[in-house]
Amino acid sequence: MPVYALADCNSFYASCEKAFNPQLKNRPVAVLSNNDGCVVSRSAEAKKLGIPMGAPAFKHEALFKANNVAVFSSNYALYGDMSARVMRTMADMVPACEVYSIDEAFLRLDGLRGDMTAICGKIRERVLRWTGIPISIGIGETKTLAKAANKLAKQSNGIFDLRGPDADEWLASLDVGDVWGVGPQYAKLLQSRRIHTSLDLKRADRVWIRKHMTVQGLQTVLELNGQPCIPMEQAPPPKKAICCSRSFGAYVRSLEGLREAVASYATRAAEKLRGQDSVCSIVQVFIRTNPFKPEHRQHAELAQATLSVASDYTPDLLRAALGILERLFRTGHAYQKAGVLLAGIEPKGSRQLSLIAPQPADESKRGKAMAVLDAANRRYGRGALAYAAGGIEPEWGMKREKLSPAYTTRWDQLLEVRGGR
């Protein structure tokens, strides 16, 4: 019988900040979104203060100050590295591990000897000892049940096994909207049919579910009944589109400033494209002003270019993206956001070559150059080697006034341990 587990890092971003700063022990911590806008992660102490998820930071400054809340800008380099450490630690202890998100992973436990709760306890203990990150683990006969068990684990001692005889009783305590794969619209539809809990969905008419929620909905019902339908994915499937976009830390009014931003996003998108060993044939660029500032002149537009030969070579994508931007830009506007999207993605080894535009003669040199670029940025941190078109210290850069050090990815920001005499 298959045994699945869903391991989820508790308040992941906030936990990463606490892991490197002992002074934050028992202190409420809040982590903000891009440009220090809204709260995206809260420690347990911050949740007890009633700080809501997505709360605008400026509206809660008084609450932060009155309760000594430690507030941080999002430190994506730190969180990404800590996520990789957590996932590697768990993967070494189980037969199979599927990274589901930056702070979640599905584990296969069948084949391991011993009590599953005890095994998960050892996994939690090692992850906490090796990384400082607390995790919760839910156990079930399917991935959907493991997800449900994880929600219950967060309400108990951090581990919950949903395979016992009282499983239906626990499913009856979970709202149907909390079931993995049931979004808000489907939840409303189900509730209109008097399907309010996970147990109700488990017992729902399968013909009706298949008709109104497609085969994915039927799979969810089958999984709630202990029938595995969603296999483990050892490696994430290649993305069919790659988008890099961000709101600016300050309005951008010049073409030069937008060129830097678009070049930076195109460079990052190309890096992601090579990371999944793919090439793309379509480059899209969009720019827009702030729609919530009606007093500003408004402009929002998107355009795309098709490459004659699919490519993963950064200069090719930069050239296309900047050419599009030249057509989109309008003077006299305060732009708030830009983005680059790569589409027409296919595996590099099976790309279609053009009869009209032959393959570049220096293809091998291009590949080696990109390999060196990517290797340097992996080793020394993103941006260690960068294209000048992206700017050095751009004014449009993301606002991060409360950024913690890059404890694990920058030699000059490693923690210092000083022994007493």
What single-letter amino acid sits at 127?
Answer: V
250: left (phi over 0), alpha (psi -120 to 50) or beta: beta
pLDDT tens for 273-289 read 999 999 999 999 999 99
> Which residues touch 367 (CB under 8 Å, ≥6 apart)?
none
CA distances from 137 to 41, 94, 98, 115, 222 (A): 19, 13, 14, 14, 22
Q: How high is the mean pLDDT of the chain?
A: 93
Closest by Cα among 296, 314, 301, 303 to 370: 314
Domains of the chain by start residue, with CATH: 242-390 (3.30.1490.100)
What is 370-384 written as a DSSP string? HHHHHHHHHHH-TTS
Strands 159-161 and 135-140: parallel
pLDDT tens for 35-47 read 899 999 999 999 9
Count the neighbouring beta carbons within 10 Å of the beta carbon of residue 364.
Answer: 9
pLDDT tens for 124-158 read 999 999 999 999 999 999 999 999 999 999 998 99
Has residue 404 got a pLDDT over 90? yes
DSSP state of 123: H
Q: Which of 124-133, 158-167, 230-239 has the lowest mean pLDDT?
A: 230-239
> Which residues touch 308 (CB under 8 Å, ≥6 apart)?
354, 356, 357
Count the neighbouring beta carbons within 10 Å of the beta carbon of residue 420.
Answer: 3
What single-letter amino acid sits at 144?
Answer: T
Instruction: Name the 3-class secondary structure at 22.
Output: helix
Please give the average per-residue pLDDT across 297-301, as a whole number.
96
pTM for the full model? Answer: 0.81
Count the neighbouring beta carbons within 10 Å of the beta carbon of residue 192.
Answer: 8
Q: How far apart are CA 154 and CA 138, in angstroms?
A: 9
Q: Of all helices (H) and strands (E), which one includes residue 210?
A: helix 206-224
Instruction: Name the 3-class secondary structure at 285.
Output: strand
pLDDT of the residue at 275:
94
Q: How far apart are CA 335 and CA 176, in angstroms?
A: 41
